[in-house]
Structure 1
Amino acid sequence: MELNLERIKKAQENIKEVVRKTPLFHTSTFSKQCGCNLYLKCENKQKTGAFKLRGAYNKVASLTEEEKSKGVIASSAGNHAQGVAYAATAFGVKSTIVMPLTAPQAKVQATKGYGAEVIQSGQVYDECYAKAVEVQKETGATFLHPFNDLDVMAGQGTIGLEILEELPDVDVIVVPIGGGGLISGIATAAKSIKPSIRVVGVQPEIVASTKASLEKGEVVTLPGAKSLADGISVSTPGDVCFEYIKKYVDEVVTISEDEIAYGMFSLMERNKLIAEGAGASPIAALLAGKIEGVKGKNVVALVSGGNVDIATVSKIIERELVLLNRRVRFTVELQDKAGTLGLLVSEIGKVGGNVVTVRQNNNWNEKGLDYADVFLEITVQSAEHGQQVIKELQEKGYSIEVHK
């Protein structure tokens, strides 16, 4: 048995009544920034919010009746969990999912909502995988691996078929890598149809296990690390996947946590797309200039999923606004009398600033009880606009200390 184009086309037939053909659209903003004709393949718009449904559904569809009768068990950081839960329920099969204690609650609750029993154990994927193996031995359930399985890989490979069907002139496909099942399937499909396509994988630099394995020529295990891209925080790539990665993947690049956060922020602001860390990794790598040879090319960046906690989204927006100097924090000295603070807020509004936080220091400053220090946080349109706001306030006589 092997992964090939015929097997991937069969998977496409198996899943066609359930899985959405997700949007592929051109983004002029990112095309200009990255110097290529950039398209986004939006698997964050897939049922369950991520590509994993494809592989999970194809796997469950391929099980024998005896295997289904025993129920299924899986380990997952979240997206495979939801895919398995959805697929198992669709076939009337009992499912148990082991998820890390650190899994986003959005993913945990969604998995339960699709009908699975959830057990949380361990901090990273590899630890919850060990727990799932333990539970499988106790119950005899059929284990569904999230990536190191030919049927799962074939299901994920249907994304490659869809990309080629809609954009035959694609030159480069950029894909996140965790365990390797997604990129194995896509690369096998794409290269089988059009061998000249470049397939580039992206990993967090703090747990770049596939890149390290390729450099050594064999599967290696790295220390577990929790990346913002939790869906691809995998210490050991699948050995089955690795053979197809060696054969079909042209390059693997790594990105920092800051670059992942900026990728998520950019997709939200520029394309109105919510992407989890793994899903934003391809665009993050392109925006950071990590992928060479894309100038003037037709490039597809896979937005693999959008299952991220709203609290995390809020933190990322807050952080990026500060880093981009679009959220300005400063202290201003005011006379402690009625109307002075209201006048300051009015002046800020006149120059286009939006006040989000005001906090007055009740302790008098060095000038005594007649003056107070007031901390303000404002949002502005750009770093340049922020500088202009501060400058105009200073010209009006306000004594200001800007905080980094």
Structure 2
Amino acid sequence: MEQPELQIATAPERALLTAEDVRGAARRISGKVVRTPTMHSKTLSAITGADIWLKFENLQFTAAYKERGALNALMLLEDSRKARGVIAASAGNHAQGLSYHGTRLGVPVTIVMPRTTPMVKVMQTESVGGKVVLEGETFDEAYAHARKLETELGLTFLHPFDDPHVAAGQGTVALEMLEDVPEIDTLVLPVGGGGLATGMGTIAREIRPDIRLIGVEAQLYPSMFNLLKGTRLPVGGDTLAEGIAVAEPGHFTSKVLKESLDDFLLVSEASIESSLALLLQIEKTLVEGAGAVGLAAVRDNPELFAGRKVGIVLSGGNIDTRLLANVLLRDLARSGRLARLKIGLQDRAGALFKVAKVFHEHNVNIIEVFHQRIFTHLPAKGLVTEIECEARDSAQLHALIGSLRREGYEVKLVETE
């Protein structure tokens, strides 16, 4: 079904956020955050057909752009509010950015996280000075508790995205990109709550009014997409792009983005995974799922970006190592370099040797072998063996499968999806 067109105005609503707000934030945080590089990718440009420029926000101290907005908001607080302290609900990058810069400035920071938050995130936040309170089973319950403590303890609540001061700080990402590479004519903006896209879009439109601004969300969490396009796509699921997995988009940010975005795209989990792996393989840089959605959007929609100078934000690099391992192995499986084959055999001496000989002839490495005699549709004298193997590429793998079938074996490739 054809998607309704996004209604575009010529500029963001200036009363909500202005380019001068972003410039002011840049002056305020200058020298206190990393001025990350904007670098050209020759290889990704060749792959996508666009001229790709990457902004490495995964090189910030807390490995994400979020500390820009957190720092700007902290510096704009009155001294009395700084002394009492601030509070936020976050299980991600906002928690670390706020805690790190709050500690640097001598501002007490309390972060409320759901009890389900992985302990590594709790420890990371505490290691940079934040006081963590675990409350509730969901983010919504943690958020409600944070607002309760805000009132009870007289703290100042700093929202992770629906705050003009936070969005202004995030906008400094685009300011730096266009200072470094003025010829960029398209920005691909990850969207969750909308703070990054709002700030970046506001300053980019002022610097270059004809620039194209493309928002991107994970297909499982199209909350802002639904709001701006009037669709009712389901929201929820276990996405790799947890940094932009927002069920309820910002009220302030959605008003700005409705006026500033030229287009809005959704990307699948498979595309996010493969783009994350590609960035690690090609650029030797580690990003989290949300940091890979920009590249995923360009790869999935080559006709929209062909020949254009495209700026992509690698928004963060905080990813669990076990999850990263899963993503990389799944990518190897999708590319045909890693596979698991189910092969029906007769339960007799030498059967496995004969199969292994075919693998040897095709120079395909056997990693693991598992025999199954009980839970199989084969006769009692038959068995199923699962062989995990490593090939050079999918062509070599399929040549092996073809040879096995010609030898009379029943072979099934175990798919990753």
Tell me the residue number matched to 1:193. Answer: 207
Tell me the residue number matched to 1:77. Answer: 91
Tell me the residue number matched to 1:211. Answer: 225
Tell me the residue number matched to 1:182. Answer: 196
| Identity rate, percent | 35
Distance 1:224 1:49 in 2: 26
Confirm or deny that 1:41 pairs with 2:55. yes
Indicate if the aligned counterparts of 1:77 and 1:124 stay in contact, CA closer than 8 A.
Answer: no
1:135 offset after TM fit, Å?
Answer: 2.2
Closer/same/farther in 2, CA of residues 92 and 137 from structure 1, 3 Å limit: same
Distance 1:124 1:296 in 2: 44
Tell me the residue number matched to 2:152. Answer: 138
Tell me the residue number matched to 1:316. Answer: 327
1:52 offset after TM fit, Å?
Answer: 0.2
Residues 306-356 of structure 1 deviation map (CA, whole Å, 9 limit, x = unaligned): 111111112222333333333222245377558x75786576356342322
Residues 117-174 of structure 1 deviation map (CA, whole Å, 9 limit, x = unaligned): 2233456544432221122222221111111112111110110111101110001000
Distance 2:295 2:161 in 1: 22
TM-score (norm. length: structure 2): 0.86
Moved more, 226-235 or 341-350: 341-350
Q: 1:87 aligns with which of 101, 122, 145?
A: 101
Residues 38-76 of structure 1 deviation map (CA, whole Å, 9 limit, x = unaligned): 122121122101100111111112212111111111112
Distance 1:116 1:36 in 2: 42
Residues 198-249 of structure 1 deviation map (CA, whole Å, 9 limit, x = unaligned): 11110122321212222349xx998655432111111222222123212322
Q: 1:325 aligns with which of 317, 336, 349?
A: 336
TM-score (norm. length: structure 1): 0.88
Distance 1:383 1:222 in 2: 34
Indicate if the aligned counterparts of 2:405 and 2:411 stay in contact, CA closer than 8 A.
Answer: no
- Matching of residues 190-339 of structure 1 within 5 Å: 190-216=204-230, 225-289=237-301, 292-332=303-343, 333=345, 337=349
Tell me the residue number matched to 2:29. Answer: 15
Confirm or deny that 1:389 pairs with 2:400. yes
SS in 2 for 1:119: strand
SS in 1 for 2:31: coil
Closer/same/farther in 2, CA of residues 153 and 367 from structure 1, 3 Å limit: closer
Distance 1:248 1:126 in 2: 28
The one-letter code sitting in structure 2 at the alignment partner of 1:235 is: A
The one-letter code sitting in structure 2 at the alignment partner of 1:271 is: E
Distance 2:223 2:26 in 1: 29
Tell me the residue number matched to 1:4. Answer: 18
1:262 offset after TM fit, Å?
Answer: 2.5
The one-letter code sitting in structure 2 at the alignment partner of 1:308 is: I
Q: 1:401 aligns with which of 376, 396, 411?
A: 411
Distance 2:285 2:354 in 1: 38
Closer/same/farther in 2, CA of residues 211 and 244 from structure 1, 3 Å limit: same
CA RMSD of aligned residues (A): 2.9
SS in 1 for 2:94: helix
Structure 1: give runs of 5+ residues left out of the alignment.
none
SS in 1 for 2:329: helix
Closer/same/farther in 2, CA of residues 292 and 122 from structure 1, 3 Å limit: farther
Q: 1:148 aligns with which of 159, 162, 165?
A: 162
Distance 2:243 2:117 in 1: 9
Closer/same/farther in 2, CA of residues 376 and 158 from structure 1, 3 Å limit: same
Distance 1:40 1:343 in 2: 50
Indicate if the aligned counterparts of 1:104 and 1:308 stay in contact, CA closer than 8 A.
Answer: no
Residues 62-103 of structure 1 deviation map (CA, whole Å, 9 limit, x = unaligned): 212111111111112301011001011111222111234454
Tell me the residue number matched to 2:178. Answer: 164
The one-letter code sitting in structure 1 at the alignment partner of 2:204 is: A
